[in-house]
């Protein structure tokens, strides 16, 4: 019997080419058992008319399915579901009843309920997205990334693509970071002092597991990156939040019995404060006296378009005291999930063993693609393009902020991609963000960056990394008027 053409429908919100949509529709019809072996498919002409696509598209889809043995063709008589096509589900699934398991008892450790706020996935649909840390399609060098990815998908790179590296990394990526990326921060490291991680998040998490226990004390900046606070709380160590000032973390405020201090000298997160050189030296000196380790999160150092960045803390460290966290999430894109750790061998050895146990290694293909993108010079070109664009946006934003009388609470000396803002005391920026979202404006409330009780409610972050220059002024005006009316 011929499958009625009426039972064929394209999924309207499906991604991909028309041909792939048709292939997919038929393959899934067979996999789900709707189309049985031996059944005849509509003629290419019929199906093409029904779906109102070109006949050649249908023919190409059928041919592809032939080669995958989903369909067979009987010459002029048409296409049939192949006898060798994959079998439909052979078992009737168990209905989902209520669990007999008491999960409150069964769960040994809880990880949910952290402070990391959920952010709108559909931010690109908003007209004024002052959102932080997402890739801007108008800035990213998508074409060259695609070329590098394609190269990394070639026969030559079959091994880096498919192999189980166990606890190892892509040697080409490691070599580039060691020879070209780190020297630009004044850091010299041997391959065995570098570990590739799944983004800075993974690097910070690994570091906390290796260095902290329930008996140790971690000092960290307040306010800080909320995910870091979640990581430290989960480690159950003693927490010592240290309030930052305009110049970042004040060394003298770190408790003397601190084992590890987490800091963001290039751009304090979220206030954007840049730590001056003398304070960097003072911080190293104090940590040397206290025999405290330093974890330096150097995120966004690439976004230094106002003046060249200061040397990393790690470059001033002669003790092996500093563990350096680098990331490609801001400079390339966060969905890449690539970052790296630089530290002394005994530390990297433990972090590597833990990473191997947790996930083995970051996928080979993304490591090799990044290696190509970096080594072909696309990365530095991209950074320069981004710098120029962000510089322009920043100036427009600065002007708009002044014109509308908004208060800047913190900004980076070297650039960065956001302003840390202060609203009047009585304004709760969570409510502000909600009412602005309804007007197409996305801002980030500052509360979740603070820890403990009595968190300030009136701070917020305005990023210019994903909003077109042309919309900044308008957007800022909306923020200002919303604040006035609240």
Residues 44-73 that bind its own copies (CB under 8 A): 64-65, 68-70
Task: Report if residue 381 touches its own copies, rule: CB under 8 A.
Answer: yes
Rounded Cα distance, 113 and 459, in Å: 22
Task: Report if residue 99 touches its own copies, rule: CB under 8 A.
Answer: yes
CA angle, residues 96, 97, 102, in degrees to nearest 5:
115
- Interacting residue with its own copies among 5, 10, 18, 24 (CB under 8 A): 24
Minimal distance, residue 221 CB to its own copies, in Å? 18
Task: Report if residue 376 touches its own copies, rule: CB under 8 A.
Answer: yes
Q: Which of 277, 326, 338 is nearest to 299 (CA)?
A: 326
Between 99 and 425, CB nearer to its own copies:
99
Window contacting its own copies (CB under 8 A); options: 48-56, 92-100, 245-253, 261-269: 92-100
3-state secondary structure of 419: strand
Query: Per CB under 8 A, which of residues 334..373 are in contact with its own copies?
Result: 334-337, 344, 346-347, 349-350, 352-354, 356-366, 372
Beta strands in 329-406 (DSSP E): 339-342
199-215 in b/e form (b: 16+ CB < 10 A) is bbbbbbbbbbbbbbeee
Between 117 and 424, CB nearer to its own copies:
117
CB neighbour list of residue 310: distance below 8 Å, 6 or more residues apart: 265, 266, 274, 275, 276, 277, 280, 414
Rounded Cα distance, 210 and 218, in Å: 13
Q: What tokens appear for 182 in the block?
A: 């780190």
Between 17 and 481, CB nearer to its own copies:
17
Rounded Cα distance, 307 and 321, in Å: 27
CB 297 within 8 A of CB 264: yes
Task: Report if residue 407 touches its own copies, rule: CB under 8 A.
Answer: no
Q: What tokens appear for 263 in the block?
A: 């800091």
Task: Report if residue 403 touches its own copies, rule: CB under 8 A.
Answer: no
Rounded Cα distance, 356 and 346, in Å: 16
- Interacting residue with its own copies among 18, 50, 59, 140 (CB under 8 A): 140
Minimal distance, residue 292 CB to its own copies, in Å? 10
Task: Report if residue 251 touches its own copies, rule: CB under 8 A.
Answer: no
Between 9 and 111, CB nearer to its own copies:
111
Task: Report if residue 77 touches its own copies, rule: CB under 8 A.
Answer: no
Q: What character string, x for contact with its own copies (CB under 8 A) and - otherwise, covers 429-468?
A: ----------------------------------------
Task: Report if residue 166 touches its own copies, rule: CB under 8 A.
Answer: yes
Rounded Cα distance, 427 and 407, in Å: 13
Task: Report if residue 121 touches its own copies, rule: CB under 8 A.
Answer: yes
Rounded Cα distance, 463 and 123, in Å: 13
- Interacting residue with its own copies among 47, 182, 386, 436 (CB under 8 A): 182
- Interacting residue with its own copies among 58, 60, 224, 293 (CB under 8 A): 293
Window contacting its own copies (CB under 8 A); options: 73-81, 201-209, 412-420, 442-450: 201-209
- Count the neighbouring beta carbons within 10 Å of the beta carbon of residue 77: 8
């Amino acid at each position: 019997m011929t499958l009625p053409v009426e039972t064929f429908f394209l999924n309207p919100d499906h991604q991909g080419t028309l041909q792939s949509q048709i292939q997919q529709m038929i393959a899934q019809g067979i996999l789900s058992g709707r189309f049985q072996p031996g059944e005849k498919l509509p003629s290419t002409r019929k199906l093409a008319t029904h779906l109102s696509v070109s006949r050649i598209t249908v023919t190409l889809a059928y041919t592809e399915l032939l080669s995958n043995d989903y369909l067979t063709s009987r010459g002029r008589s048409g296409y049939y579901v192949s006898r060798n096509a994959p079998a439909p589900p052979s078992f009737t699934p168990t209905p989902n009843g209520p669990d007999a398991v008491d999960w409150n008892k069964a769960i040994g450790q809880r990880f949910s309920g952290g402070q990391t706020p959920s952010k709108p996935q559909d931010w690109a649909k908003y007209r004024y997205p002052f959102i932080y840390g997402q890739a801007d399609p108008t800035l990213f060098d998508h074409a060259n990334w695609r070329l590098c990815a394609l190269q990394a998908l070639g026969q030559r790179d079959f091994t880096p693509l498919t192999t189980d590296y166990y606890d190892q990394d892509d040697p080409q990526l490691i070599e580039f970071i060691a020879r070209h990326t780190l020297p630009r921060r004044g850091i010299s490291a041997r391959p065995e002092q570098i570990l590739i991680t799944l983004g800075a998040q993974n690097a910070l998490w690994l570091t906390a597991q290796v260095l902290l226990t329930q008996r140790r004390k971690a000092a960290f900046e307040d306010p800080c990156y909320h995910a870091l606070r979640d990581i430290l709380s989960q480690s159950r160590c003693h927490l010592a939040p240290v309030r930052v000032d305009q110049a970042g973390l004040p060394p003298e405020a770190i408790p003397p019995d601190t084992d590890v201090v987490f800091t963001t000298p290039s751009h304090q997160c979220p206030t954007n404060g840049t730590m001056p050189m003398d304070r960097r030296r003072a911080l190293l000196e104090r940590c040397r006296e206290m025999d405290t380790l330093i974890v330096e999160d150097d995120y966004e150092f690439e976004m230094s378009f106002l003046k060249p960045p200061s040397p990393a803390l790690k470059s001033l460290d002669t003790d092996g005291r500093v563990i350096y966290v680098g990331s490609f999430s801001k400079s390339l894109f966060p969905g890449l999930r690539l970052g790296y750790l630089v530290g002394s061998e005994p530390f990297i050895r433990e972090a590597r063993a833990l990473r191997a146990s947790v996930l083995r290694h970051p996928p080979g293909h993304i490591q090799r693609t990044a290696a190509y993108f970096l080594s072909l010079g696309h990365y530095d070109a991209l950074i320069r393009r981004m710098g120029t664009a962000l510089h322009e946006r920043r100036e427009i934003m600065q002007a708009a902020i002044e014109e509308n009388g908004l208060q800047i609470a913190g900004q980076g000396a070297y650039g960065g991609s956001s302003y840390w803002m202060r609203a009047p005391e009585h304004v709760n920026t969570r409510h502000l963000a909600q009412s602005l979202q309804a007007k197409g404006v996305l801002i980030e409330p500052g509360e979740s960056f603070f820890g403990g009780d009595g968190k300030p409610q009136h701070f917020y972050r305005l990023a210019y990394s994903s909003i077109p220059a042309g919309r900044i002024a308008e957007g800022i005006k909306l923020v200002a008027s919303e604040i006035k009316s609240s």
